[in-house]
Amino acid sequence: MTKTKKSITQLLVTCMVDAIRPQVGTAVKTILNKNGCEVEFPKQQTCCGQPAFNAGFLKQARAMARHTIDVFTNTSGPVVVPSGSCTDMIVHHYPELLKSDPVYSSKAKKLSDRTYEFTQFLVDKLGLTNVGAKYNGNTTYHPCCHGLRNLNLVQQPSTLLDNVEDLEQVVLPCAEECCGFGGLFSVRMSEISGAMLDKKLSHVEETGANVLIAGDVGCIIHMQGGLRRRGSNIQVKHIAEILNGCD
Amino acid sequence: MAATELSFYDRISDALANPDGQLAIAAGAKAKYDNRARAMSEFPSMEMTRDRARSIRAHTLSQLDKFLAEFADNVEALGGHIFWAKNAQECNQYINEIARAKDVQLVAKAKSMLTEEISLNQSLETSGIDVVETDLGEFIVQLSGDKPSHIIAPILHMTREDVGNVFQEKLNVPFSDDPATLNAIARAHMREIFLKADMGISGVNFGVSESGAICLVTNEGNGRLISTAPRIHVAVMGMERLVPTLADLSIMLQLLARSATGQKLSVYSNILCGPRRKNESDGPEELHIVILDNGRSEILGSALSEILYCIRCGACLNACPVFHSIGGHAYGSVYPGPVGSVLSPLLFGDPWNPLPHASSLCGACKEVCPVDIDLPGLLLKSRSQQITKGKSPLWMQLSQWIYAITSCNPILFGLALRSGQVVSRLLAYDGWFTTLPGPLQGWSTHRDFPALAQKSFRQLWDKPSQG
């Protein structure tokens, strides 16, 4: 474990973690604390606005982007987000959305520059490869699309998982195919989304794993909800839960 | 193009209710996707070539008027005719007029999505002219009265057995599902057509401004035959399909074949310069190049102009998990898949507005695009343009505002969380909802929805011991 000075980090926990899987936020905080980071949680934070943005509602998305920027503007240190998708929203789409806003364009750029996805922060910023976790389970990993393609999260999660003690990993066939979540897509185009989900879950079942690991709670509840509907006992966990070593 | 009778949602249901068709499509698309990946991995300067190709497309479109004028002048200098068609009607009318004036009875066609876009075959057939598709896939589509389901592989949705049945029924031959036998049958049938046809009609893969040449890419050699054997050759070109120079063309061809099928180069890449000259023994007596706008100049001036970079390789279709699930026909457009979802509403209007929503924005399409078109970004722009024009359901507009107002106010957001917790406590069973109400019910047709945690993260933060 790298010894670093106690440095302040901001936790942007995401609305999904906040409301549905708070244990992911707790795991992130614990891991960051263990690795020399003091964690602050600005309580004014809500939702980054991605669902509105993806549905094409730019006015609403801009309002939420400005709110999120305001919440973090007067804080210090890097902003850590346990979601590739929300990180992508802040890092890539905030500056684009607010580029003609005289007040917020520079603020958006500043927030973008200091925002990191959780595994990206651990590996690229803290220089960690092993967080000292132990997890006894037969697992497979699904790389969520926005993290994979827009943030190039490939090495970071795999390095961290490879160093988890006792963790058995089976390669997921067609791992890079989307699970069909896509936010409002899963409601509005539910049949297509359902067909994509079925393919994904059949591949997951093929692996024989009893735990599916992913990095985005949106995709996690989508796949867990689908597995439950199929009567499967496979559990879908956020990578932070695995790295926190909670069996 | 006329809107099809069924709604997009009905066509999706139909496609998903046909597991055999779905399997054929997914397997065919996956094979092409894998072939592309292999070809690109063996192509050392892939990223550099891709960047170069993108800048060629951007440069061409930024001065399209200049390059089009140069191209047209050069075609005419070579002895070819240029016709500028504003829309499908003008294009079809012009070709019909030539056919009438030159007493054309039989037309041999090479594969062209552009002629599908403007329903050229139907227009000629209405005038009593026989039109035969000479690309094998298109020929099968034509025989079976079907439509192409993929811009490169028109019969991606069909199995070998399906093709055998079509041949048996329409060509009166014994049933076979052996590809070599089927090929031989088509070839024998086709030779006659090439020799008899009075007019050959093709699309244009690329026009070359500096020389007035047109490039036709095929794997079957039919493009070469229909552009040389009949006495008249008509080539229909989308106004965006230019490259400035032959050197630029070589970059495009390397990427086109690899992206489409995984080949280093297509089997036949014909570069044609004008009609037959005095001292030449073959080639058409007349060459007509129709440059078609059909909505493209409007796209060029819009926020979605990047879609005109497209070189129609079909790689984005092969990579798309939505296309894998529903196939090409469900889109109800000649242009399916990610590129079609952006293009169709622009070219064909409001009935195609649901298409840009049929994407999870996974980004697999952008990853494989040979000219790096930001397809997810364009799908997003297309969605937001619909919202700006007020073309979204009222319930969605309302709920988006409620959601935004709530999210901009932490007190309201906290209250919403608490209300969700109460609803979860009262109505969820074992931590899950199995049905959701109203507009959200789509979710619960295929998956359960989790109850909200009884303590949100912000509540745990205040009192960590309750975790």
Give me the residue spans of the domains in chain B: 43-294, 303-388, 394-466
Please tell me the predicted confidence (pLDDT) of residue B256. Answer: 97
Could you tell me the sign of the dihedral formed by the alpha carbons of B13, B327, B155, B227, in that order? Answer: positive
- A2 within a domain of the structure (yes/no): no
Could you tell me the sign of the dihedral formed by the alpha carbons of B66, B71, B77, B83, in that order? Answer: negative
- Confirm whether B43-294 and B303-388 share one CATH topology: no
Please tell me the predicted confidence (pLDDT) of residue A164. Answer: 97
**Class for domain B303-388, per CATH?**
mainly alpha
- A234 within a domain of the structure (yes/no): yes
Please tell me the predicted confidence (pLDDT) of residue B395. Answer: 84
Nearest neighbour of A19 by CB, restricted to B367, B442, B456: B456
- A177 within a domain of the structure (yes/no): yes
Residue found under tokens 């493209």: B296
CATH of domain B43-294: 3.40.50.10420
Average pLDDT of chain A? 96
Determine the Cα–Cα distance for residues A54 and B321; give it in Å rounded to an integer: 18
Q: Do residues A142 and A70 share a domain?
A: no
Q: Do residues A117 and A20 share a domain?
A: yes
Taking only residues 128 to 157 of chain A, the set having a beta carbon closer than 8 angstroms to any beta carbon of chain B reads: 145-146, 149-150
Please tell me the predicted confidence (pLDDT) of residue B324. Answer: 95
- Closest listed residue to residue A242, CA positions, set A27, A17, A36, A11: A27
CB distance B403–A229 less than 8 Å?
A: no
With an 8 Å Cβ cutoff, is A81 touching chain B?
A: no
Which residue on chain B is closest to A42 by alpha carbon? B458
CB distance A43–B461 less than 8 Å?
A: yes
Residues 6+ apart with CB under 8 A from B99: B107, B124, B127, B129, B199
> Token digits for B201?
């009609």
Coil, strand, or helix at residue A181? coil
Average pLDDT of chain B? 95
Q: Which of A76, A98, A124 is a domain's end point?
A: A124
Nearest neighbour of A185 by CB, restricted to B359, B407, B458: B359
B10 contacts on A by Cβ (under 8 Å): none
Consecutive H or E run containing B326: helix B321-326
Pairing of strands B268-272, B213-218: antiparallel
Around Cβ B173, how many Cβ atoms within 10 Å? 15
With an 8 Å Cβ cutoff, is A53 touching chain B?
A: yes
Could you tell me the sign of the dihedral formed by the alpha carbons of B298, B304, B306, B311, in that order? Answer: negative
> Token digits for A9?
């980090």
pLDDT tens digit string along A60-79?
999 999 999 999 999 999 99
Q: Do residues A202 and A221 share a domain?
A: yes
Q: Do residues A165 and A211 share a domain?
A: yes
pLDDT tens digit string along A197-241?
999 999 999 999 999 999 999 999 999 999 999 999 999 999 999
Determine the Cα–Cα distance for residues B159 and B244; give it in Å rounded to an integer: 40
Q: What is the mean pLDDT of residues B237-255?
A: 98
Q: pLDDT band at A5, cuts 50/70/90?
A: low
* Shortest CA gap B149–chain A (Å): 17
B386 contacts on A by Cβ (under 8 Å): 56
Please tell me the predicted confidence (pLDDT) of residue B467. Answer: 45
With an 8 Å Cβ cutoff, is A60 touching chain B?
A: yes
Nearest neighbour of A25 by CB, restricted to B324, B383, B457: B457
Q: Do residues A35 and A106 share a domain?
A: yes
DSSP state, residue B309: G
Range scoring the smallest mean pLDDT among A47-56, A192-201, B2-11: B2-11
CB distance A15–B407 less than 8 Å?
A: yes
- A23 within a domain of the structure (yes/no): yes
Q: Do residues A64 and A152 share a domain?
A: no
Q: Which of A107, A124, A141 is a domain's end point?
A: A124
CB distance A63–B446 less than 8 Å?
A: no
Q: Do residues A29 and A97 share a domain?
A: yes
CB distance B446–A194 less than 8 Å?
A: yes
Count: domains in chain A: 2
- A150 within a domain of the structure (yes/no): yes
Q: Do residues A74 and A99 share a domain?
A: yes
Q: What is the pTM of this model?
A: 0.95
User: Which ipTM score applies to this complex?
Assistant: 0.95
Q: Do residues A24 and A110 share a domain?
A: yes
Identity of the residue numbered B51: D
Q: pLDDT band at B4, cuts 50/70/90?
A: low
- A1 within a domain of the structure (yes/no): no
Determine the Cα–Cα distance for residues B20 and B6; give it in Å rounded to an integer: 21
pLDDT tens digit string along A35-50?
999 999 999 999 999 9
* Shortest CA gap B340–chain A (Å): 17
Consecutive H or E run containing A139: strand A134-141
Residue found under tokens 């220089």: A127
Nearest neighbour of B358 by CB, restricted to A43, A186, A189: A189
Pairing of strands A235-238, A211-214: parallel
Around Cβ A147, how many Cβ atoms within 10 Å? 28
Please tell me the predicted confidence (pLDDT) of residue B5. Answer: 52
Q: pLDDT band at B203, cuts 50/70/90?
A: very high
Task: Pick the more confident residue, A143 or B44.
Answer: A143
Q: Which of A74, A97, A124 is a domain's end point?
A: A124
CB distance A182–B362 less than 8 Å?
A: yes
Q: What is the mean pLDDT of residues B142-157?
A: 94
CB distance A56–B407 less than 8 Å?
A: no
Q: At what angle do helices A58-73 and A104-113 cross, to 10 degrees?
A: 70
Q: Do residues A156 and A185 share a domain?
A: yes
With an 8 Å Cβ cutoff, is A75 touching chain B?
A: no
Domain range enclosing A148: 132-243
Q: Do residues A113 and A140 share a domain?
A: no
pLDDT tens digit string along B107-135?
999 999 999 999 999 999 999 999 999 99
Q: Do residues A224 and A203 share a domain?
A: yes
